Structure 1
Amino acid sequence: MSRADLAVVDTAAARPNPLWSLGLLRSELVTTFRRWRTVALLGVLAAVPILVGVAVRIETRGGGQVGRGGGEGPAFITQVTNNGLFLVFTALAATLPFFLPMAVGVVAGDAVAGEADAGTLRYLLVAPAGRTRLLLAKYATTMAFCLVATLVVAASALAVGALLFPLGDLTTISGTRISFADGLGRALLIALVVAASLAGVAALGLFVSTLTNSGIAAMATTVGLVITVQILDQIPQLHALQPYFFSHYWLSFADLMRDPVYWDDLVKNLELQALYTAVFGSAAWARFTTRDVTA
Structure 2
Amino acid sequence: MSEADTARGSHTARLLASELLVLFGRWRTWTMLAALAAVPVVIGLAVRFAPGRPPSGRGPVFLDQITNNGLFAGVVGLVVCTPLFLPLTVSVVAGDTIAGESGLGTLRYLLVAPVGRIRLLVVKYLSSAVFCAAAGLAVVLGGVLVGVVLFPLGQATLLSGAQIGPGESLVRLLLMAAYVTVSLLGLAAIGLFASTLTGVPVGAMAATAVLAVVSQILGALDQLDWLHPWLFTDHWLGIADFLRDPISWDSFGQNAWLQLGYVTFFGALAYGRFTTKDILA
TM interval, shorter chain, is over 0.9
% identity of equivalent residues: 48
Question: Given the superposition, is the C-alpha separation of residues 95 and 130 from structure 1 closer, same or farther in structure 2, using an over 3 Å criterion?
Answer: same
Instruction: Find the counterpart in structure 2 of residue 120 from structure 1.
Output: 106
Out of 209, 233, 238, the position equivalent to 2:219 is 233
- Paired residues of 2:65 and 2:156 also in contact (CA < 8 A): no
Counterpart selection for 2:185 from 194, 199, 210? 199
Distance 1:135 1:58 in 2: 48
Q: Following TM superposition, by how much is the alpha carbon of 1:67 offset from its aligned partner in structure 2, in angstroms? A: 4.2
User: By how many angstroms is 1:85 displaced?
Assistant: 1.2
Greater displacement, 256-265 / 136-145: 256-265
- The answer to whether residue 48 in structure 2 is matched with residue 48 in structure 1 is no
CA distance in 1, matches of 2:280, 2:58: 51
Q: Which has more radius of gyration?
A: 1
For 1:280 and 1:78, the matched residues in 2 are separated by 40
Match of 1:281 in 2: 267
SS for the counterpart of 1:17 is: helix
How far apart, CA to CA, are the structure 2 residues paired with 1:181 and 1:277? 34
Structure 1 position 268, deviation (Å): 1.3
Relative to structure 1, the CA distance from residue 67 to residue 106 in structure 2 (aligned partners, 3 Å threshold; closer, same or farther) is farther
SS of aligned partner of 1:240:
coil
> Quick check: 2:68–2:155 contact (8 Å CA) kept in 1?
no
Answer yes or no: is 1:57 the counterpart of 2:45. no
The 2-side partners of 1:204 and 1:74 are apart by 29
Query: Matches of residues 124-273 of structure 1 in structure 2 within 5 Å?
Result: 124-273=110-259
Aligned residue identity for 1:122: R
CA distance in 1, matches of 2:17, 2:107: 17
Rounded to whole Å, the distance in 2 between the matches of 1:261 and 1:50 is 27
Kindly indicate whether residue 12 of structure 2 is the aligned counterpart of residue 24 of structure 1. Answer: no
How far the C-alpha of 1:154 sits from its partner, in A, is 0.1
C-alpha contact 2:158 2:243 (8 A) present in aligned 1: yes
* Structure 1 runs of 4+ with >3 Å offset: none
Give the paired residue count: 278
C-alpha distance in structure 1 between counterparts of 2:195 and 2:7, whole Å: 24
How is 1:83-94 mapped onto 2 (pairs within 5 angstroms)?
Answer: 83-94=69-80
Structure 2 counterpart SS, 1:111:
coil
Equivalent in 101, 112, 130 of residue 87 of structure 2: 101
Aligned to 2:146, what secondary structure does the other structure show?
A: helix
Tell me the distance in 2 between the aligned counterparts of 1:126 and 1:277: 27
* Conserved 8 A contact 1:85-1:162: yes
CA contact (8 A) 2:40 2:146 kept: yes
Q: Which residue of 1 aligns with 2:54?
A: 66
- For the Cα contact (< 8 Å) 1:197–1:250, is it kept in 2? yes
Q: Deviations over 1:21-75 (max 9, x none)?
A: 111101100111111211211111111111111112233xx32x3246xx34322
1:74-128 residue CA offsets vs partner (Å, 9 max, x unmatched): 2211211111011111100010100001000000000000100110000000112
> In the aligned structure 2, how far is the partner of 1:149 from the partner of 1:73?
23
Q: What whole-Å deviation, never above 9, does each CA across 1:198-257 have from its counterpart, x for those lacking one?
A: 001100000000011111111111111111111121122111111211111111111111
Query: Structure 1 length as normaliser, TM-score?
Result: 0.90
Whole-Å separation in 1 of the counterparts to 2:138 and 2:202: 25
1:125-173 Cα offsets, whole Å, 9 max, x none, are 0112211111000000000001111111101100101111110333322
- RMSD over aligned CA atoms reads 1.7
Gaps of 5+ in 1: 1-11
Is the Cα–Cα contact under 8 Å of residues 143 and 202 in structure 1 kept in the other structure? yes
Matched residue of 2:161: which SS? coil
TM-score (norm 2): 0.94
CA contact (8 A) 2:133 2:181 kept: yes
Q: Partner residue of 1:8?
A: none
Residue segments in structure 2 that go unaligned for 5+ positions in a row: none
Which of 39, 45, 54 is the matching residue for 2:30?
Answer: 39
The answer to whether the 8 A contact 1:104-1:142 is kept is yes
